[in-house]
Structure 1
């Protein structure tokens, strides 16, 4: 290799190291209480990290498609109420959600055997399970990041449609 070149093998991660890093990350998460957990896949020794966040949104973001409304002066109070209920997302939140727009962001970090790297998946939906459109997700990205991310959006965010069969 020439000076300054990276070793391609150093860009990959084995599954054992991924799990070790997850354990360390989850220990830190528990210390700062930010809600990450480990989800075991039934019948296997495999799993993934998971975090669910409930986010109140302004009525201008959601009212057209989902019929939800929220007054700006209630945002801080509602955010505190919802964050205090993240542990048990159904406790008291449903009553708040009947009046205000609340989005559910669910993050999954898992190991990709194919690419030998961690992969972040996330799902954005209303509390009743309706997925947000890609445009709605982009509209909820903080303005400080939106412009930079949209310069190369497919390096950052793509949408996968899930088909459910009965």
Structure 2
């Protein structure tokens, strides 16, 4: 509901921080050129049935804890609490639950939204056994600094719906926040220092870390409007 209200009441000032389809295409092309210099393994995907449609894609493995997934046998209930914190054979601390991080594969897509006129971060995540993560698993691993800020809006900020190109269920960072977010980040940056690439990088730097996607600092600050960091 909050997203709907925000979208329908969007001011003309906020709309100034949208991006056109042409600007998005220009931004992702420049983003790829720059990412190749840093070996970030992003690529542009083209759609066979829609030659003009393309989007950014990246796949990487992330170590994260998944609730109720233990890697060792449960400690017997009769053991004293002090002895429930144990070490594995290779010296990895497990804590009281015996949990250690899983290796999770994330696939990120940056897709253009014609409804909101902004980029959208779609993603899917699965464990080594191929089991997809749930929305609860995703939210449990949102960094605390973001979780506290989003706790009253978590199910509308990160949600799940059909991928607009692939037609399969994907998670996404909902685009209703994007224009307002970009406005807050770039409103003090002169127009002469903004371009399509800085728009895309600013947005991705802000929303990516909530779902495990990081851009190196060197990538962010290279050829970037310095006034953002003053």
Q: Which runs of 5+ in 1 are unaligned?
A: 76-99
Give the superposed CA RMSD: 3.1
- Which residue of structure 2 lines up, in the alignment, with residue 109 of structure 1? 110
Number of matched pairs: 132
Change (3 A) 1:131 1:160: farther
- Which residue of structure 1 lines up, in the alignment, with residue 44 of structure 2? 38
For 2:35 and 2:92, the matched residues in 1 are separated by 29
Q: Which runs of 5+ in 2 are unaligned?
A: 1-10, 73-87, 94-100, 163-167, 170-230
For 2:48 and 2:91, the matched residues in 1 are separated by 44
1:88-136 per-residue CA deviation (whole Å, 9 max, x = no partner) reads: xxxxxxxxxxxx7211111111112232221111112213432211111
Change (3 A) 1:8 1:148: closer
1:51 aligns with 2:58: yes
For 1:68 and 1:159, the matched residues in 2 are separated by 28
Structure 1 residue 9: Cα displacement: 4.7
Change (3 A) 1:53 1:127: same
- Which residue of structure 1 lines up, in the alignment, with residue 212 of structure 2? none
Structure 1 residue 73: Cα displacement: 5.6
TM-score, length basis structure 2:
0.48
Change (3 A) 1:30 1:112: same
1:27 aligns with 2:33: yes
Is the radius of gyration larger for structure 1 or structure 2?
Answer: 2
Report if aligned partners of 1:50, 1:106 keep a CA contact under 8 Å in 2: yes
TM-score, length basis structure 1:
0.64
Q: How does 1:114-133 map to 2 (within 5 A)?
A: 114-133=115-134
